[in-house]
Chains A and B, each alone.
Chain A
Amino acid sequence: DAGVIQSPRHEVTEMGQEVTLRCKLISGHNSLFWYRQTMMRGLELLIYFNNNVPIDDSGMPEDRFSAKMPNASFSTLKIQPSEPRDSAVYFCASSLRNQPQHFGDGTRLSIL
C-alpha cells in the first residue's frame, strides 16, 4: 500500500511567490494533519481535518497560510505571499480515527 504522498519533495522560490504544497492521504484514512518542522521550534501542528472538515487551525501562523481538502484523499497547503521565515520542512500525516498517524516524506521549502 502506498503511504502518504507529498509533493514537491523540495521547493526553492523567491519571497513573495505563492507556494502550494500537496498531500495525498493513505487510502481509507479520514484525518489529515499538516505540520511544520524547524530547528528552533521543532514539529508544530498547523491544521488538521476530519472527514474533509477543518477541526483545529489554531497553529496556522498567519492569514498568508491556507489549507484545503477538495476531496477525501487530497489536501493542499498554500502560502501567499511567501517569506524567508516560512522556510522549513512541511509534513503531512494521515490517520484513521484515533489510530496512529502516518507521515509523508515531507516538503523541504526554502524561501530566498
Chain B
Amino acid sequence: RKEVEQDPGPFNVPEGATVAFNCTYSNSASQSFFWYRQDCRKEPKLLMSVYSSGNEDGRFTAQLNRASQYISLLIRDSKLSDSATYLCVVKIQGAQKLVFGQGTRLTINP
C-alpha cells in the first residue's frame, strides 16, 4: 500500500465549478501536510500547508482529519489557470523528507 494515496483523475470540470480532491495517508506518525501544484513539464510548487483546524487561502480550502488520516482540497469558482496536477504531500514526525502522492490531474474547461 502506498504511503500517500490519491485519485489520479483526470477530473474535467467547467470553469466556475467547485471541485474537491481527497488524499489518504498510512503513517500515523505523519506530522505535517501540504498540497503542491505541478503544471505540465514544470516543477512542483507549494500551494498551501494544511493545518489541523482547516485553512483557507482565497478560493482554496484545505482540511485535515487526523482520526481518518485524510486530507482534502476544495477549489471554489475554478479558473482555467487552476488546470494542473495537485500533489498531496506528507512529512513524517522527526524527518525532513516529504512523501508525495501520485497527484490528481485537474482540467478546467471553458
Interface size class of B (residues with CB under 8 A): 10 to 19
Number of interchain pairs (Cβ within 8 Å) = 37
In the bound complex, do residue A106 and residue B43 qualify as a contact, i.e. CB atoms below 8 Å apart? yes
Q: Which residues of A contact B102 (CB under 8 A)?
A: 42
B42 within 8 A of A: yes
In the bound complex, do residue A100 and residue B43 qualify as a contact, i.e. CB atoms below 8 Å apart? no
In the bound complex, do residue A56 and residue B97 qualify as a contact, i.e. CB atoms below 8 Å apart? yes
In the bound complex, do residue B42 and residue A105 qualify as a contact, i.e. CB atoms below 8 Å apart? yes
Q: Which residues of B contact A50 (CB under 8 A)?
A: 96
Interface residue tally for chain A (C-beta within 8 Å): 19
B20 within 8 A of A: no
In the bound complex, do residue A100 and residue B46 qualify as a contact, i.e. CB atoms below 8 Å apart? yes
Main secondary structure of the interface of A (DSSP, over half): strand
In the bound complex, do residue A100 and residue B34 qualify as a contact, i.e. CB atoms below 8 Å apart? yes
Q: Complex: how many Å from CA A45 to CA B87?
A: 14
Q: Complex: how many Å from CA A42 to CA B86?
A: 12
Q: Which residues of A contact B100 (CB under 8 A)?
A: 42-44
Closest to A97 in B: B96
Among B42, B45, B97, max chain A CB count under 10 A is at B97
Q: Which 8 pairs from chain A and chain B are nearest by CB?
A: A103-B43, A43-B100, A42-B102, A100-B46, A45-B97, A103-B44, A106-B43, A105-B43
Interface residues of B (CB under 8 A from A): 34, 42-46, 49, 87, 95-103
Known: A50-B96, A103-B43. 8 other contacts (CB 8 A): A42-B103, A43-B100, A45-B99, A48-B97, A91-B43, A95-B96, A98-B96, A105-B43
